[in-house]
A and B are shown apart, each in its own frame.
Chain A
Amino acid sequence: EDQVTQSPEALRLQEGESSSLNCSYTVSGLRGLFWYRQDPGKGPEFLFTLYSAGEEKEKERLKATLTKKESFLHITAPKPEDSATYLCAVRGRLYNQGGKLIFGQGTELSVKP
């Protein structure tokens, strides 16, 4: 069964304190690993897609990396506006899964000034 586990559930950082969020996954043939940001009361906002081990993508203070078993979202010198819940999701290759995404529970990040 395809599964995504994110850790930690919650992370509190001081402004400028870099850290990483983890996403461990098991999937029958990875067809993409996705990172989203979700602010309270809003829908998830797309950040990155990674397709193969070794791939990396960056956007401002965020950098996503991928191995065969997990992905990391590195946050460098975070600011209070980076506070949000970060969601990881995977898409498997099995035909009957269509295009659906399997989501983890999310990591709630709080950055204090």
Chain B
Amino acid sequence: GAGVSQSPSNKVTEKGKDVELRCDPISGHTALYWYRQRLGQGLEFLIYFQGNSAPDKSGLPSDRFSAERTGESVSTLTIQRTQQEDSAVYLCASSSLAGAGEQYFGPGTRLTVT
């Protein structure tokens, strides 16, 4: 079946602009995660959604970052007033088990802030 999809694949934006990144999880997966990967570094957890429970926002680096999820489907990650240090690959993952099991990743969105 279809895997996790993300759009856009690449985004170049000017410093100070807002950007919105989209994630479509695997159908039927109740858990959805966002991670950030800076160049040459490991993945950094941002936020976790599980069903109708309150999301775990403990990894969001500042109040410029926010995310929403509609039911058990699409999620959007919004970064307001982008800064150059926001440049990274933003990866979305989904899992069929709440807080357990392996996570399946999308191809990522490469964000470049100029």
A interface residues, Cβ below 8 angstroms from B: 4, 31-32, 34, 36, 41-46, 49, 87, 89, 91, 96-106
- Cross-chain pair count, CB within 8 angstroms: 67
- B59 sits at the interface (CB 8 A): yes
The 8 Å CB contact of A99, one of B42, B44, B98, is: B98
Across-interface contacts of B100 in A (CB, < 8 A)? 31-32, 91, 99
Chain A residues, Cβ within 8 Å of B59:
100
Question: Is there a chain A Cβ closer than 8 Å to B108's Cβ?
Answer: yes
- Residues from chain B with a CB closer than 8 A to the CB of A99 are 31, 33, 48, 50, 95, 98-100, 103
Interface of B toward A, CB cutoff 8 Å: 4, 31, 33, 35, 40-45, 48, 50, 56, 58-59, 91, 93, 95, 98-108
Compute how far the CA of A32 lies from the CA of B95 in the bound complex, rounded to whole angstroms. Answer: 14
A19 to chain B, nearest CB (A): 21
The reply to whether A44 and B33 form a contact with Cβ atoms under 8 Å apart is no
Q: A41-B107, A98-B48, A100-B33 are in contact. List 20 more A-B contacts (CB 8 A).
A: A4-B42, A43-B105, A43-B106, A44-B105, A45-B105, A46-B105, A87-B42, A91-B100, A98-B56, A99-B50, A99-B98, A99-B100, A99-B103, A101-B43, A101-B45, A103-B42, A103-B44, A104-B42, A105-B41, A106-B42
Residue of B whose beta carbon sits closest to that of A100: B45
Q: Of B33, B43, B95, which one neighbours A87 at CB under 8 angstroms?
A: B43
A102–B43 CA distance with the chains assembled, in angstroms: 8
- Bound CA–CA A105/B38 (angstroms): 10
CA of A43 to CA of B4, assembled, Å:
10
Asked if B102 and A49 sit within 8 Å, CB to CB, the answer is: yes
- A37 vs B56: C-alpha distance when bound (angstroms): 26
Contact B45 A102 (CB under 8 A): yes
**What are 14 A-B contacts defined by CB distance under 8 Å?**
A43-B105, A44-B105, A45-B105, A46-B103, A89-B43, A98-B56, A99-B48, A99-B100, A100-B45, A100-B48, A100-B56, A101-B43, A102-B45, A105-B42
| Cβ contact within 8 Å between A103 and B95 | no
Task: Compute how far the CA of A61 lies from the CA of B9 in the bound complex, rounded to whole angstroms.
Answer: 31
